[in-house]
Amino acid sequence: MNKKTVRDINVEGKKVLVRCDFNVPQDESGNITDNRRIVSSLPTIKYLLEKGAKVILCSHLGRPKGEVKKEFSLAPVAKELSKQLNIEVKLATDIVGENAKKLVSEMKNGEVILLENVRFDAREEKNDPEFAKQLADLAQIYVNDAFGTSHRAHASTAGVADYLPAVSGFLIEKELDFMGNALENPARPFVAILGGKKVSDKIGVIMALLEKVDTLIIGGAMAYTFFKAQGYNVGDSICELDKLDLALEIMEKAKQKGVKFMLPIDTKIGKTPDKDTESKTVKYTEIPDGWEGFDIGEETIELYKKELKTAKTIVWNGPLGLFEIDQFATGTNEIAKALAEIDAITIIGGGDSAAAIEKAGLSDKMTHISTGGGASLEFLEGKKLPGIECLENK
């Protein structure tokens, strides 16, 4: 990675503004149900504290749309951080207002405060220069460690870098190292697995990966668009009728590039997307009307497993079926288990894929699980991410 990190600057006695991704899920009572994003920010925070910095943390939570809403307060995050760091993390009642300024002015070296949800101010998502300047005025150094929002050009993810020396934290460094190496210098064979609903969501990623991978494995609902494009009936399955030409074009490009393009050979179908629906497995060419495809079938699972056993680098983005429903989670779970046993670099693009791996209890068996859904997709696509571009080069 050619971006400076917190290791490359002197932070002792300095006020350091750290953009984290504390957008964590909570239950109805406001209890955090998954603290992974908080835990993944700890190495950077602890390093800064050990080096005697005054650490000012900021993040968004949910979509309050520029209004102060109690259910999106970062109070539960401050509580969890205090527990994880074993020191009090004070929560400012505002972002750049009187309370935040007062808490910052009273800070001693090795202390942490957390600003309230940056999206409580409508100027955050507009990347308003005045708001970015007010954020920057609180600190002397800016650290971005929120990979999950680095594809957004917001005030706290990119704008502040116009006013402060800007470097990356350890989480972003890790993301760029693992995903960057996989794309630029992969151990081969390099296999990508793409799932999810729509071809249109993944066009850029598919086209970019066809330039790099040896094998591209397709699963999830987007497979039915490829079946339909070849003239097969897909019943009531999700299918993008306006993307059939594109699907054929993708298959043709794979052929030209010498990339092995793998589609399911059988599929588990049901009447409705419910846990108690009637279901059966059929060949992909034999989906009847009134039925909908919800998972890859047993033969496909075995075929994909065999292919994956030969791989040395595997990137996976998007579940292979309706994994939220147990009877349609088999494909996703079986491939996750296979990855856990393979001697290869295994990189899971965030979002639903990460949730599926977590649900299967296999997180610790993967080389790297990305913390960014949309950000990791755009990174795989080769797009420039504003939250990374704004950081200083080494």
Task: Convert 73-87 to b/e letters by CB count within 10 Å (16 or more is b).
Answer: bbbbbbebbbebbee
Closest CA to 191 of 175, 207, 212, 205: 212
Measure the CA–CA gap between 33 and 53, rounded to whole angstroms: 30
* CB-count burial class (<10 Å; 0-12, 13-18, 19+) for 327: middle
Residue 367 is which amino acid?
A: T
* DSSP category for residue 242: G
Given the residues 69, 90, 198, 365, select the one marked as catalytic.
198
The H helix count followed by the E strand count for the chain is 13, 15
Q: How far apart are CA 278 and CA 206, in angstroms?
A: 33
Tell me the residue ranges of DSSP E strands in the chain. Answer: 15-19, 54-58, 89-91, 112-114, 141-144, 166-168, 190-194, 215-218, 260-262, 266-270, 279-283, 292-296, 313-317, 345-348, 368-369
The reply to whether 374 belongs to the active site is yes
What residues contact residue 243 under an 8 Å CB cut-off, 6+ apart? 198, 199, 200, 225
Residues in Cβ contact with 107 at an 8 Å cutoff, skipping those fewer than 6 apart: 15, 54, 56, 113
Dist. CA 94–CA 120, nearest whole Å: 9
CA atoms of 312 and 308, how far apart (whole Å): 9
Residue at 296: amino acid letter? I
DSSP string, 45-58: HHHHHHTT-EEEEE
Catalytic one of 196, 349, 351, 372:
351
Q: Any catalytic annotation for residue 228?
A: no
Structure tokens at 73: 């307060």
Active-site residue (options: 52, 110, 374, 382):
374
CA 197-202-205 angle, 5° bins: 150
Q: Which of 3, 4, 14, 37 is catalytic?
A: 37
Residues classed as catalytic: 37, 198, 351, 374
